[in-house]
Amino acid sequence: MKIFCIGRNYKDHAKELNNPVPDKPLVFMKPSTAFVKGHQTFYYPDFSDNIQYECEIVLRISKYGKSITPEYALGFIDQITLGIDYTARDLQIQCKEKGHPWEIAKAFDFSAPIGDLQDYESFKNQSIQFRLEKNGKIVQTGNSKDLIFSFEQLIVYISKYFTLKTGDFIFTGTPAGVGRVQKGDILEGFLMGRKVLLSIIK
| Averaged confidence pLDDT in the chain | 95
Q: Which of 9, 13, 14 is nearest to 24 (CA)?
A: 9
79, pLDDT greater than 80 = yes
- Alpha helices, DSSP H, located in the chain: 11-16, 70-73, 89-97, 103-106, 151-161
When computed from its CA atoms, the radius of gyration of the chain, rounded to whole angstroms, is 16
Distance between CA 190 and CA 104 in Å, rounded?
28
| pLDDT tens figures, 121-163 | 999 889 999 999 999 999 999 999 999 999 999 999 999 999 9
Model-level pTM? Answer: 0.95
Could you tell me the CA-to-CA distances from 193 to 128, 147, 174, 190, 198 in Å, in that order?
10, 19, 18, 5, 14
Domains recognised in the chain with CATH numbers = 3-201 (3.90.850.10)
| pLDDT tens figures, 30-48 | 999 999 997 789 999 999 9
Mean pLDDT of 191-200: 97
